Structure 1
Amino acid sequence: MTPNSSTSEAGAGDGGAVLTEAPPPAADETVRPRVSFWEIARTFNEISLSSFGGGLSAWSREMVVARKKWMDDAEFLSAMTVCRILPGANQVNLAVFVGTKLNGLRGAGAALAGLIAMPTVLLMAIAALYAAFQHSHAVQHVLAGFAAAAVAMTLQMVWKTGRTTLTSIMPVLLFATTFVLNGILRWPLWWTLAVTAPVGIAWAWRRAHKKAAAQAAGSAS
């Protein structure tokens, strides 16, 4: 008779409750630890110092999705959409969104501080230099090169995210409709969303419902 079995029998004989150890959690139930305050601040500081202009969204995607894997492309694009709709600067909104997801209010503060602290200091210095040398042709050429690089980084983000999200006819149609209404016809964002958002929500709901039904049928069989 093993010690464990004797203890269980003794407890049962005395009318006491038998204590058993809880089974270890399954692998998919393991709670992922929160990302640290300093890691979030350092990452967004790197984002802010490694990109500029329109390239900020592209570099945010590179760090958050490709390198850190804190989000996938679908979640990142959803976050970007929400941040563009809400008032305020898009990248500030995104930093708060990602930071809150990773570590609550502390994470939001860390992301915001990392994003704006050093660029604020650098911008003040650059503004002083620009005021002194704004008529220099060399400065104008440098700024034009920066603008071209920012456009290239934005196009790179569009290409990478498009390959993973525009995988069926409905996303492609929504993308094309939004591009035509907002990019070519210059409709206001709210009017464009009034047309595309109900269609996108209905399509996503129907797709999720079908996926859940298929999973239920597979489990039953």
Structure 2
Amino acid sequence: MSPTRAPVPLSSLFLVFFRVGLFSFGGGLSGWVYREVVTQRGWMSDGDFFSGLALSQILPGANITNLSVYIGQRLRGPMGAVCALTGLIIGPFFAVIALVTAYARFSTMTWIQDAMSGAAAAAIGLLLIVAAKGAYSTSKKLVPFMILMATFVTVGLLQWPLVPVVLGLAPVSVAYAWWKASSNA
């Protein structure tokens, strides 16, 4: 922030992050924040923003919440951090409450139940397509296919807990990938 520039109003900081939080779904939020904070408003330089983005990615927690705290702190101190974070999470907080309330009220309607069943079936179908394509591409190589099958059998059929299975098979998979990459180099 340039010392001659007027401080960013807390209300503006809140509203920018409120809009980002309310109207965004999935990934890409840091790109939207970059556009709002650096490109459109000029509140930060590229270097300051990317330093904050790198820091937000190595800290525990959601990257976008870390980034909002960083930007708010950088622009207006502790109150800026509070305004940015509150703006980011308050819209989705009330949107989720409204959706859960509406679902609880209307979930007994037959057409709502049918729509939810259809959405669940579509999600399962998409998951099966991704799994089938992954299995097909993996089946072309023996070791990756064996690791895939070991995971499927132990977790899917034997019902072993996923974390210990992955912790046991991950070193084998990583060692194979490392060996394969070094032999291709």
TM norm structure 2: 0.53
Deviation, structure 1 residue 35: 0.9
Q: From the superposition, tell whether residues 134 and 102 of structure 1 become closer, same or farther in structure 2 (CA, over 3 Å).
A: farther
TM norm structure 1: 0.45
User: Matches of 1:45 and 1:130 in 2, distance apart?
Assistant: 24
Which of 118, 123, 127 aligns to 2:91? It is 118
CA deviations 1:73-122 (Å, max 9, x no partner) are 33322211110110111111111100011110111111111111111000
Higher relative contact order (CA 8 A, sep 6+): 1
Structure 1 residue ranges, 4+ long, deviating more than 4 angstroms after superposition: 128-131
CA deviations 1:132-170 (Å, max 9, x no partner) are 3475279849x99xxxxxxxxxxxxxxxxxxxxxxxxxx
Counterpart mapping for 1:42-53 below 5 A: 42-53=15-26
Counterpart mapping for 1:209-220 below 5 A: none
Q: How many residues align?
A: 117
* 1:93 to 2:66 alignment: yes
User: Matches of 1:77 and 1:139 in 2, distance apart?
Assistant: 42
Counterpart mapping for 1:1-221 below 5 A: 31-129=4-102, 132=107, 133=112, 136=115, 140=119
3-state DSSP class of the match of 1:52? coil
Over the matched positions of the two proteins, sequence identity in percent amounts to 38
CA deviations 1:178-218 (Å, max 9, x no partner) are xxxxxxxx98xxxxxxxxxxxxxxxxxxxxxxxxxxxxxxx
Q: From the superposition, tell whether residues 70 and 126 of structure 1 become closer, same or farther in structure 2 (CA, over 3 Å).
A: same
Letter in 1 for 2:24: S
Structure number, greater radius of gyration: 1
Q: Structure 2: any 5+ residue segments left out of the alignment?
A: 124-172, 175-185
Q: Structure 1: any 5+ residue segments left out of the alignment?
A: 1-28, 145-185, 188-221
User: Matches of 1:119 and 1:39 in 2, distance apart?
Assistant: 18
